[in-house]
Structure 1
Amino acid sequence: MSSTNSSVASLSTSASTGISSANSSIASLSTSTSTGISTAQSGVNSLSTGLSSTNSSVTSLSTSASTGISSANSSIASLSTSTSTGISTAQSGVNSLSTGLSSTNSAVASLSTSTSTGINSLSTGLSSTTSSIASLSTSTSTGLSTAGSNISSLSTGLSSLSTAVNGGGTKYFHTNSTQPDSQALGTNAIAVGPAATASGASSIAMGDNANASTGGAVAIGRTAVATGGQSVSIGVANTASGDGAVAIGDPNVATGTGAVALGANNSANGQGAVALGNANVATGTGSLALGNTSTAAAGGAIALGANAIASNANDVALGSGSVTATASPVGSALIAGQTYSFAGGLPTSVVSVGAPGAERQIVNVAAGRISATSTDAVNGSQMNAVTRALASLSTSTASALSTTQSGLSSLSTGLSSTNSSVSSLSTGLSTTSSNVSSLSTGLSTSQSGIASLSTGLSTTNDSLASLSTAITSGGIHANSVGGVSVGPGANASGANSTAVGGAASASGANATALGQASNASGDNSTALGQASSASGSGSTAVGQGASAPGDGASAFGQGAIASGTNATALGAHSTASAPNSVAIGANSVASEPNTVSFGSPDHERRLTNVAPGIGGTDAANMNQLRGVQSSVDQAARRAYSGVAAATALTMIPEVDPGKTIAVGIGAGSYQGYSASAIGVSVRFSDNLKAKLGVGMSGQGSTYGGGVSYQW
């Protein structure tokens, strides 16, 4: 049979019809020979022995002999007789036996019973072989007959061909992937990597399954996606889906125009939203989340620090674990029975520097302006001044009450005496006024010095003119060394500068511009985000449209502006225009030097979770203010009660002429506080009398006494 393999194709073609007809014959064969077994020839025993040894190869026999069986229509009787001794030795030559069987024409009726078992298994094998051969003949009927002898060598060649494809490449650039090819579908697009797709005009897609689908988009890294116009996605599985959005790290999502997400697992979802660090979430227009797992959950919200949460629009959470709450209007309060209105009583949002049970002190707070319209924070020294004033008031009140005369007329006299003190106070102010006049004179004198300063500057101007001439003739040039630019129209012209993104520009030395149309023109400046600008030396601008023109200034958030020297603006559209000023929160304005602003006029914020101040420049919280208010209320109650008690004492009638002793009671009221008094007056003689009394109120007792001598 092994030698027959080369002709299997022609065998399967010719035998495909014969085997199917033989199957039906074999079924009837087993039935028709059931009665003829008794007359079987004497040579059946040797035939059954020979067939038993042939049984193990019946399967291959049934396949190779299919052509012979189809033409076997003669009687098997003579076959069994003539081959009874030959079958045992014919096993090795089955091929020639199958040829001999084709000429056999004896009857099948005399086939022995001993072969029925073998025929059954043979029938089964032929049946399954028939279906296989039929499908084989159908699928390979064309071409297989001539290709069969060469298939083995072809299979070997294909195996080595597959190996060659996987290891292919050019020098310094190799691939090892069976993924689909990259596609650069957009005009002037670049696609590098398995299944990388750059479908936008001038887009760049580099990495396994990287996708840059819009004009000028840049996607670098495995499954990096840049679908926003001129967006930038760098790293594994980053997504930049807003126009000008930037997502860098593993994996970050920047959704919204100018959104920025840098680090790991950050999400910036909203126009101009910024999320920097790890697992931070900035949701809403102009929101800002920096740190680790911080959350800015609404438009204009700012969360700075690990686990900081700014829950409401324009809220600010400063510091690790800080949490904001809903702003609570406090437009007025009842103090000592009188209602007082407050400026900034309708806050729009909240600034938090801690959380309930985890408050922080705010230190190094400058003294705030104190007026009926001021919304400045006050520090500990200002609170201390109020406390001292209250203590002085309490002492003065006590002294005045102790010297209260027995009659209202004498009280009036005391007030007259006080008036004279006020006059001297006025005189003192007049003296101060004269000092101001002399100050004015001093300034006038200084003006002459200013004039000489002006003259000196004029002299310097001449030098500057010559300096300008020298520079012009000297031909000073600045060459870009070590600059790196990535993206359509990107330009890194400053020394050691970096520009990434469409039309990004880094012209300052050591400057970095990242994002579409970003501009870092100041030395050592950083501009991050679409259309961000850092023009001051050492300045930083982060967020869409953020601007830091001041030297050392920092602007964080969409449209934030830090124009003052060393100024800081945190939050969407916040503005810090004065030197060393800080504006915290969306739309906050810091326009005075060395100030911190948490809002703007008519848009103030509450400062929450503030620990009690200790140092002279620490911020005070409401508990401390309430403590002062409580002291004021207590002093007012005592003062009002004292006036009522003094009035009650004066209402006690004195001893009449000709009488020796008089005992009386009195009552008085002042500002809603009442008091009663009891007193005794004694006339020792016509010229000498004395009076003692005690006034009582809910706040305490007032004692008084007096002696008069008349002549």
Structure 2
Amino acid sequence: MGFANQAVGNNSTAVGFANFAQTDDSSAMGFANQALGARSTAMGFVNQANAANATAVGMQNSANALNATAMGMQNNYDPSTNTYFTPGQRSTAVGFQNQAQGDDSTAMGRSNTAQLRGTAVGFQNQAQGDDSTAVGSANQAQGNDSTAMGRSNTAQLRGTAVGFQNQAQGDDSTAVGSANQAQGNDSTAVGSANQAQGNDSTAMGRSNTAQLRGTAVGFQNQAQGDDSTAVGSNNQAIGARSIAIGRASLANADDSTAIGQNAQVTASNSVAIGAGSVATAPNVVSVGAPGQERKIVNVAPGIIAPTSTDAINGSQLSALINQLFATGICSITGATVTCGNIALGNGATPVGGGAIAIGNNAATNANNAIALGPSSQALHPNSVAIGAGSVTTAPNTVSVGAPGAERRITNVATPILPTDAVNKAYVDGIGAVALGAANAYTDAQINQLRGEAFAGIASAAALLPVVPARSGETTFNIGFGSYGGYSAVGMAMAHQAGPVVIDAGASFSSAGSPLVRLGLGFRF
């Protein structure tokens, strides 16, 4: 029917203008349609159904593969080259300019592309991987068995990206929400602007980041360490296997845990619990910070045994103290302990007001006396006996031994105050200074005496003997003497008056000490 139509096959139909129904049971209806395959149908404008059981309906559609369906406009067709593509067998392309290229694929909407067993529905979606699904707008399901749904999402092998601009880049990864990146294999990013960068990582909420096997949940948390967890807001779990929960908490070391606002742990295997709590040493649990300490309440009774590591509570400690203080020497009220005399040890006997005896058979016998050590004895007021068998001998003293059993006191610091104890090094130093001063003084005195002696010898040598020649005459002479580096000058005179001789002289040495001589003689 119509004009220039050809219905060649048995039971074939060609209706319209220039349609061609070539094979049995085929139908070509409209304008310039081709139904070349058995039981094929081409209806509309310039459609091609050139394979068995193919259906092309609309305008410029190509269903040129077994059991293929193309409905709409320019499906499996390139208008720029006027080329009809061969779609996949059993494929379906419905809408405008879709390409169902793979077998058993489906492309529906506008400008979608689907590969083997893929499904692309919406606008400009690409189901590139085998068995992949892309639904929405501008999504790319690139990997096999991947799913990208929403707008501008990308999914790799077995990945799932749902929402807006999500990227499921790792194998078996999931990105759901807006602008999330699941980069690691088996990673999950859910919410907004999260990054699950490491394998097996999870980032949920907004602007969270998680590394290898890490978990970051909330707002701007960072699970940077392997196997780390950051939950809340602005928390950082930096160490491996670390945990940071709360707000702005920091777990900076391996196996560390920080729970609470601004809680910080900087040493390995430590825990900080509570707002502002700080743990800076390894293997500790902190519930506060310097100046911000906390009580721990509702603690169950711990096991008290030689090998127990349980914590004990206040009631257990109270019972222990009451047992220790059962003698009435001490009493406890709240956090206050009041004691009179104190005795600890078998046979310890504190006698005297405010006395303390600690050690088996330790004893005191005066007010404010203290005996520390087995069989120690502080027998005088305000005295102290320290060490086994030590005995005091006077009030206001400290004894570290007994007659015949003395002890050294070691590790004594250099004294500062006038009443400080001194050590051997200090005494040796004082002795060395004193000995040096004494030696210097003795040497000076000896040198002085030696000089005076040498000067005296020089002075004596300078006094020459004078003998007058005759009665009534006077003899005068000058002499010089030197000895041991000292020199002297001497003057002497003699006068004879009859039988009487008067002799006088004086000498002066370089030492400055004069030597005087005066004599009287008789001649007969």
Sort the TM-score into its range (normalised by shorter chain): 0.3 to 0.5
Output the TM-score relative to the length of structure 1. 0.31
Larger Rg: 2
Q: Of Structure 1 and Structure 2, which has the larger fraction of its residues in helix?
A: 1
Output the TM-score relative to the length of structure 2. 0.41
